[in-house]
C-alpha cells in the first residue's frame, strides 16, 4: 500500500499531501497546545531527571541511544497522542528490542527502495526471497508494533467522537487530521488517489461514506502513520547526535550557544529550585527558541555538513512534449529517473568555502545575496513539491532538545570512536554510539 511519500504521480501525491500538510506548518507547530504540553512532559517527567542523575554520578551517556529514545517518544506523541505513544526513554527492554529491529530494517532498506515490487512478487513465485529472512522479520515486527498504536488511536477516536476532548496532550494530531482529510477528499472525489486501492480487499475498508462508498483502508492509514513515525525520529537522531558531537569538540561554539540560550525567558534550567515542582516548569515560547540566530546557525551547519539523508533523492521526469530541461540538459524523455544528493550540493566550494569545516558563522553573514545562495543550495530536506513535509517539526524538535541540554549542562567528549558516517541513502554513526559526559553548569 503506497503512502504520500511513495506515491509516484505528482498530482496524486499533491492531493494526499494537502490533507495533512497544515499540521506541519511552522505557525501551527509554534501555537500547538498539544506539542507544548507534550514537550514539557517529556522533558520534566522523563529525560531531564535521567540526565541529572547521570550528571550527578559522573556516568557517561551514549547520546545516540538517548536521542533515539527522545525523538521516538516526541514524534509518536504528536502522531498518536501522549497516552498511546512510546515510552522508550524509560523502558530499556522495549528500547533495545525496538532499536534492534529498526537497525536491521535500516541496514536493509535498499531491498525495499531499489528493487521494484514486481521483481519481489516474481521471485516469490520461484520461492527465492530477495529480502534476507532476518530483515523481513524485522519489517514484520515493526509493522505489528506500529499497527498496535494505530489501532489504539482508532479506538480512542471512536470512543471520544461524541465526547468533549480531554487533556490536549492526548490529541492524536497527525492521525486524526490525516484520517479526516482523506475521508473528506474522497467524499468530494471518490476516485481521488485510487491508485493505492486496486488490490485491497473490501473487508479492509473501515471508513465508509454515503451509499457505502469506500473511503479509506486501515492499511493506507497505517502505512501513512508508520512512514511519518519513522521519518519523524530517524533523521533527528542523526542530526542531534552530530550537533552534540560538534559542540563537545568545540568548546567556544558550545559556550556561544549557552550564552544565547540564557537570553530566553523563561530559561530552560534544570534541576528546578527546591521550592518548585515539575508542574511549575515553564518552557519558553517555541517561536522564541526558533528565533535564536546562533542556535539556528549551529543547526543549519550541522544539517549541511552532516545531512541525515545525504544520498540520492530520485525524481522521475514527466511526460511532456519535447521532453524536460534540467540545467544544461534538454529533451529528457518522460519516465527517466534523475537524482540530486545533499552531500554533493552541500560541498559546493563556490557556495560553501572550506565546505568540510564546521563553521556556524557562515550562516550569520551580512551578505544577503550570499545567504540567499546558500539557502538555495541547502537540501537537507529537499525542495519543491516533494520537500520533506515534517521539516519544521524536525527543526523544532532538534532546537528544543538542544536548548534543554545546553542551558543546564556542558558536554564533554568521552568516546567518539565510530562517529564516521555510514554510506547510504540515510546515514548514522558507524559505531551506533557517541559517549559524552554531562557536567552541570
What is the pLDDT at residue 194? 56
Q: Which helix (H) or strand (E) holds 329?
A: strand 329-332
Residue 130: per-residue pLDDT: 77
Give the residues across from 410 on adjacent strands. 439
- Distance, in Å, from the CA atom of 139 to the CA atom of 105, rounded to the nearest integer, reads 6
CA angle 59/48/440 to nearest 5° reads 55
> 8-17, 191-200, 261-270: which range is least confident on average?
191-200
Backbone φ and ψ of 326, nearest 5°: -135, 105
Say if residues 76 and 226 touch (Cβ distance below 8 Å).
no
pLDDT, mean of residues 275-294 = 93
pLDDT of residue 128: 81
Higher pLDDT, 2 or 227: 227
Q: What is the pTM of this model?
A: 0.91
- Given a contact cutoff of 8 angstroms between Cβ atoms, the answer to whether 226 and 143 are in contact is yes
- Cα–Cα distance between 274 and 421 in angstroms, integer? 43
User: How far is Cα 234 from Cα 211, in angstroms, rounded to an integer?
Assistant: 41
Q: What is the structure's pLDDT at 10?
A: 82
Please tell me the number of Cα atoms within 13 Å of 64 on its side-chain side.
21
404 Cβ contact partners less than 8 Å away, ≥ 6 residues apart: 43, 47, 48, 268, 270
Instruction: Give me 418's grid cell.
Output: 565510530
Poorest-pLDDT segment among 172-186, 197-211, 319-333: 197-211
Q: How far apart are CA 441 and CA 439, in angstroms?
A: 6
* Residue 394 contacts residue 382 (beta carbons within 8 Å): no
pLDDT for the residue 202: 44
- List the helix and strand counts (H, then E) for the chain: 17, 9
Q: Provide mean pLDDT across the span 364-370.
A: 97
How far is 331 from 170, CA to CA, in rounded Å? 52
Number of residues written out for the chain: 441
Rounded to an integer, the average pLDDT of 213-223 is 73
Rounded-to-integer distance, Cα 297 and Cα 227, Å = 29
How far apart, in whole angstroms, are the C-alpha atoms of residue 291 and residue 54?
30
Give the mean pLDDT of 375-398. Answer: 95
- Cell 527522545 -> residue: 70
- The pLDDT value recorded for residue 198 is 46
CA 312, CA 178: separation in Å to the nearest integer? 28
Q: How far, in Å, are 17, 75, 97, 103, 130 from residue 22 at the CA level?
A: 9, 16, 34, 31, 38
Q: Which three cell numbers stand for residue 297?
A: 546557525
181, 17 contact by CB (below 8 A)? no
Quote the CA–CA distance of 276 and 49 in Å, as a whole number.
Answer: 14
CA distances from residue 416 to 64, 298, 423 in whole angstroms, order as listed: 11, 20, 18
Asked if residues 252 and 366 have their Cβ atoms less than 8 Å apart, the reply is: no
Convert the pLDDT of each residue in 19-36 to its tens digit.
Answer: 999 999 999 999 999 999
pLDDT band for 414, please (50, 70, 90 cuts): very high
Cα(17)–Cα(166) distance, rounded to whole angstroms?
28
Is pLDDT above 70 for 111? no
Give the pairing type, strands 61-62 and 205-208. Answer: unpaired
The residues that bridge with 28 in the sheet, in sequence order, are: none
DSSP letters along 99-142, please?
A: HHHHHHHHHTHHHHHHS-HHHHHHHHHTT--SS-HHHHHHHHHH
Answer yes or no: are the C-beta atoms of 364 and 297 closer than 8 Å: yes
Q: Pairing between strand 409-415 and 435-440?
A: antiparallel
Amino acid at each position: 500500500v503506497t503512502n504520500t511519500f511513495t506515491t509516484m504521480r505528482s498530482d496524486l501525491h499533491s492531493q494526499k499531501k494537502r490533507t495533512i500538510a497544515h499540521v506541519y506548518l511552522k505557525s501551527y507547530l509554534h501555537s500547538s497546545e498539544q506539542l507544548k504540553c507534550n514537550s514539557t512532559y517529556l522533558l520534566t517527567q522523563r529525560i531531564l531527571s535521567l540526565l541529572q542523575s547521570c550528571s550527578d554520578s559522573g556516568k557517561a551517556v551514549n547520546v545516540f541511544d538517548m536521542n533515539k529514545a527522545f525523538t521516538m517518544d516526541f514524534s509518536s506523541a504528536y502522531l498518536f497522542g501522549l497516552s498511546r505513544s512510546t515510552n522508550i526513554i524509560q523502558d530499556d527492554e522495549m528500547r533495545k528490542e525496538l532499536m534492534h529491529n529498526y537497525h536491521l530494517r535500516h541496514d536493509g532498506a535498499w531491498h525495499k527502495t531499489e528493487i521494484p515490487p514486481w521483481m519481489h512478487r516474481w521471485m516469490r513465485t520461484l520461492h527465492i526471497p530477495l529480502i534476507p529472512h532476518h530483515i523481513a522479520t524485522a519489517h514484520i515486527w515493526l509493522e505489528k508494533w506500529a499497527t498496535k498504536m494505530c489501532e489504539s488511536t482508532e479506538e480512542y477516536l471512536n470512543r471520544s467522537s461524541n465526547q468533549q476532548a480531554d487533556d490536549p496532550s492526548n490529541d492524536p494530531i497527525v492521525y486524526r487530521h490525516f484520517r479526516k482529510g482523506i475521508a473528506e477528499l474522497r467524499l468530494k472525489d471518490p476516485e481521488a488517489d485510487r491508485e493505492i486501492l486496486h488490490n485491497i480487499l473490501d473487508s479492509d475498508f473501515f471508513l465508509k461514506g454515503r451509499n457505502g462508498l469506500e473511503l479509506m483502508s486501515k492499511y493506507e492509514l497505517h502505512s501513512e502513520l508508520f512512514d511519518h513515525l519513522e521519518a519523524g525520529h530517524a533523521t533527528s537522531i542523526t542530526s542531534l547526535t552530530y550537533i552534540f558531537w560538534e559542540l563537545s569538540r568545540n568548546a567556544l561554539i558550545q559556550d556561544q550557544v549557552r550564552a544565547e540560550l540564557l537570553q530566553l525567558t523563561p530559561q530552560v534550567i534544570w534541576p528546578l529550585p527546591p521550592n518548585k515542582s515539575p508542574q511549575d516548569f515553564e518552557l519558553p515560547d517555541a517561536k522564541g527558541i526558533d528565533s535564536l540566530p546562533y542556535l539556528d546557525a549551529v543547526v543549519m551547519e550541522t544539517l549541511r555538513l552532516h545531512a541525515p539523508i545525504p544520498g540520492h533523492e530520485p525524481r522521475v521526469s514527466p511526460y511532456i512534449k519535447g521532453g524536460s530541461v534540467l540545467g544544461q540538459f534538454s529533451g529528457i524523455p518522460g519516465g527517466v529517473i534523475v537524482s540530486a544528493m545533499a552531500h554533493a550540493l552541500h560541498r559546493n566550494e563556490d557556495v560553501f568555502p572550506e565546505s568540510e569545516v564546521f563553521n556556524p558563522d557562515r550562516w550569520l553573514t551580512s551578505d544577503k545575496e550570499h545567504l540567499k545562495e546558500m539557502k538555495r543550495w541547502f537540501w537537507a530536506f529537499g525542495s519543491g513539491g516533494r520537500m520533506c513535509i515534517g521539516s519544521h517539526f524536525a527543526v523544532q524538535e532538534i532546537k528544543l532538545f538542544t536548548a534543554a541540554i545546553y542551558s543546564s549542562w556542558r558536554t564533554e567528549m568521552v568516546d567518539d570512536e565510530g562517529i564516521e558516517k555510514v554510506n547510504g541513502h540515510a546515514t548514522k554513526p558507524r559505531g551506533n554510539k557517541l559517549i559524552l559526559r554531562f557536567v552541570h553548569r
